[in-house]
Amino acid sequence: MSNVQPLGGQLSLAGRHALVCGASAGIGRASALALASLGASVTALARRAEALHALLPQLRDAGASDAHAVAADQEDRAGLEAMVTALIVTRGPVHVLINNTGGPPGGAALDAEPAQFERALGRILLSAQLLVRLCLPGMRDTRFGRIVNILSTSVREPIPNLAVGNTVRAAMGGWTKTLANELPPGVTINNILPGYTSTERLAELAQATAARTGRPLADVEADWKREIPEGRFAEPSEIGNVVAFLCSPAAAYIRGVSLAVDGGRMRGI
């Protein structure tokens, strides 16, 4: 008798609790909605409380078994720890953790002050380490855990004029691969490397590039699109759907991978 299960049944996250960081906009918001569509209970975390509370009914409409908001700043790790500890006490273990936060300002490496690297490492890497340690006991006890980090293609190919971001994202890549060998069976960790995606962050980078080079914004965006075999920027939902798949039972054997979702822009194999 075949032990193959239909794929649809392996995508459900019913009975699972997902904590999505940076959920107020962009890829974080899209990831929260995609996880909701698989039936997860979703806690959306970000700094902007008003945007989070506007998201809650959309999460329920998308299929979330429950939806909750936590307004927290990932740079304030003491406050973050207190809020997530309270969340676990009141709402139960976190089975799915999406580490996602905005990138640091652009600039050349030679122009960056040490404090810029320290701030970015704190917000991106150290907050992720803290959250993994807080959520892991519940994942271990239930023998189900999914950790997905939203990073950048700069993990593999540094992006010009994003020196601090390149450095910290690469550090996250090494951290992820190390944890993949330490986490218990049933608890996986993977990275998503988005390419150019239609978000507030991309709009800011395009405007900064146009200002720095003196070129029209439309020309900057057109040049970027020419680098992409698909010929367009990604929609946040396209990234969110891949995040949701990696969090599903169907992806149980994917571990320690950095998956580019970039329309084919990166040239390396």
Domains along the sequence of the chain with CATH? 12-195+236-260 (3.40.50.720), 200-233 (no CATH)
Closest CA to 58 of 22, 24, 33: 33
Other C-beta atoms closer than 10 Å to the C-beta of 167 total 19
From first to last of its 269 residues, what are the pLDDT tens digits of the chain? 456 667 777 999 999 999 999 999 999 999 999 999 999 999 999 999 999 999 999 999 999 999 999 999 999 999 999 999 999 999 999 999 999 998 898 899 999 999 999 999 999 999 999 999 999 999 999 999 999 999 999 999 999 999 999 999 999 999 999 999 999 999 999 999 999 999 999 999 899 999 999 999 999 999 999 999 999 999 999 999 999 999 999 999 999 999 999 999 999 88
Pair of tokens at residue 111: 């122009």
Q: What is the Rg, in whole angstroms, of the alpha carbon atoms belonging to the chain?
A: 18
Contact assessment for residue 94 and residue 18, using Cβ atoms and an 8 Å cutoff = yes
Among 48, 42, 46, 47, residue whose Cα is nearest residue 62 = 42
Q: Which residues contact 61 (CB under 8 A, 6 or more apart)?
A: none
- 79: left (phi > 0), else alpha (psi -120 to 50), else beta? alpha
